[in-house]
Amino acid sequence: MGDLNAKIGLDNTGRERIMGRHGLGCLNENGERFADLCAFNDLVIGGSIFPHKTIHKATWISPDGRSSNQINHIAIGRKWRSLTDVRVKRGADVASDHHLLLGIIKVKLRASQDCTCTPHYKYNIQNLKSKTTAETFSCSVKNRYSALEFVGEDVDSHWTALKHTWQKSCDEVLGKRRKSQKEWLSAEETVESSN
């Protein structure tokens, strides 16, 4: 594509959703196109949001040192707007006449759980306190394990066979654990509140 050289400028009239008032210079034609692209895709221009000195906004300075422009930008979706700062790092050697633009993002990741293999319930291990149930469970696991025929030397196949052995024994002997939720309002509190 080549260089876009989009200057967004200071004036954000009519574009408050996509840019702040801390840009640099004046809006040019390519800057207008860039702003329209950001408005269409619901993006925010990060370099215009945070107040910094001019040297921390200018991404390109002319060789004679007279003019400076903000022509490199970081745009992020408004839904995920987690930028904490965007500024220019002038000391970084990037082998270009442009300065490095640095954006700091704060992200909260949610732990993903693989629910394909794990059961959606827990086993009632309290039943193992009973001696007869513990013996029945032990006998069931031993019988199932002795009935297994390991065809290959593959560790994964051994593991899945053992896992299924334990799961079937737990299903038959122990059963599923019932959720025991405390009542959030006891009978005593109900009587007190009615008085």
Q: Which residue has the higher pLDDT, 160 or 39?
A: 39
* 71-122 pLDDT, tens digit each: 888 898 888 778 889 999 888 777 788 888 889 988 877 776 666 665 567 7
Do 45 and 35 contact (CB within 8 A), yes or no?
A: yes
Do 97 and 71 contact (CB within 8 A), yes or no?
A: no
pTM of model > 0.75: no
Among residues 27, 30, 3, 2, which one has the least CA distance to residue 15?
27
How many angstroms separate the CA atoms of 28 and 22, rounded?
16
Task: Please report, rounded to a whole number, the percentage of residues in the chain having pLDDT higher than 70.
Answer: 82
How many angstroms separate the CA atoms of 186 and 168, rounded?
38
- The mean predicted confidence, pLDDT, of the chain is 81
Torsion angle (degrees, nearest 10) of CA 6, 7, 13, 17: 50
pLDDT on residue 37: 92
pLDDT band at 124 (very low <50, low <70, confident <90, very high): confident
Could you tell me if residue 183 is left (phi over 0), alpha (psi between -120 and 50 degrees) or otherwise beta? Answer: beta
- Extended beta strands in 107-155, E state: none
pLDDT on residue 41: 92
Do 68 and 54 contact (CB within 8 A), yes or no?
A: yes
pLDDT on residue 1: 36
How many angstroms separate the CA atoms of 151 and 139, rounded?
24
> Which amino acid type is present at position 112?
S
